[in-house]
Structure 1
């Protein structure tokens, strides 16, 4: 989704609040005095009535979404099998600190991301070169390094922390020289009527239980589909820079992630995903997925 709902919500809250406040400061008393003198009921202008009614609601929603929990919908299969297309998740907005709504600058630091966390973040754009300088562009080919980066929320898993040395060649992931082990669970099982599942079935996808430090989670492998760039590459150095994180999708061969566009800046973090509260699988509600804790 290319529009910034947080910015729209903040803007509406400010507009309603200003309209209501200006009326109370400059117009309400005169209007009430006039109505009382005429023996009539005090009537508010339509705009003021709307502002008075909606401002508290907008403010409450803004505070909840900005500082407590925010809902997101999974739009693609890049995090399968952990998260499926049609999952509706909740994201903890204060795990890593409180941020200013819409502007996203950190107000209070409360914690740091850990390896294995599933995080939502603002897509930073592709790394391109423009006049010898590295810039972020919305154009993956970098033919237009000035292409605006769309305002989108993405979700991936943190693989590398600042200062980590990360290598990845095919399925083999190494962090600080130590291989990340994974055990094969078996072939992927899904609904062939759904596009994402049909692709994985056709490509012979297998499911693995990856041991990423203290976090055990499922990944999918389907090397017959594509070959992602290795790490390091021209966009990803061997050591993760300060203030950045390497993120990947659990669907390792079908995820446009840090391997393609570089590290995810800390200031782009939106929060940590922690719960699937609703899941729609195309034919109805997937009750078996509802209430799952995200690992």
Structure 2
């Protein structure tokens, strides 16, 4: 874990040193500066972007667990304050000796998604920014177990953001709820579960085009979609860095570690049954 943290820090310093000196220092565009969260900005009218999002999840309650998802996304802003994103995801799993999960070594197309965001409040003219986002996704491979499934889920998210120090420090807060329906191929049984949580992120502009800070997420996993039977809970914390590579391209990098967690009915200090030990995300985007 220490080696991975040092590698992340070295990468941040190296990329920051290579940033162009002409990057725009005025204002924030919070649409993409966070990794596991979202800001309230949705882009400008007519804007088009291509984005790649690589997410790695590592460590479960024993054995070896590695899962990497690669999502390719197209984003459009057809109307003021309204954004549409269409995505397709490929997944790679290596699972060996993890209790409760069959061994897997698999690379496959996981599924697709569509995301809608509408900004109700602009922080430039209001007390804070406020955006409602909903994502619909369908999966043919379970993101945790790598089993062949027919899965459908929806994520609802409220995003707030506000500049704590003008042009220097920005904070964002998210509330989320994600119900999901899953049927394993070959089985007539439909499983229902849901995740709810809150997240807080703060970034400071270290130099023009380079933001550094962190994100903290508290997540609760439930059996069923009614938030009634708690399965487990976890707190993730870690650093986030944003790099404006050019006027048209950007890079966001984040690493989160489960700092605390507990499965339902247990006294453990981590929940490695319902959640991962480590999560990492790298997002690259370009306007066209």
Q: TM-score, normalised by structure 2?
A: 0.24
Name whichever structure is richer in helix by fraction. Answer: 1
Higher RCO, 1 vs 2 (CA within 8 Å, ≥6 residues apart): 1
Q: TM-score, normalised by structure 1?
A: 0.23
Name whichever structure is richer in strand by fraction. Answer: 2
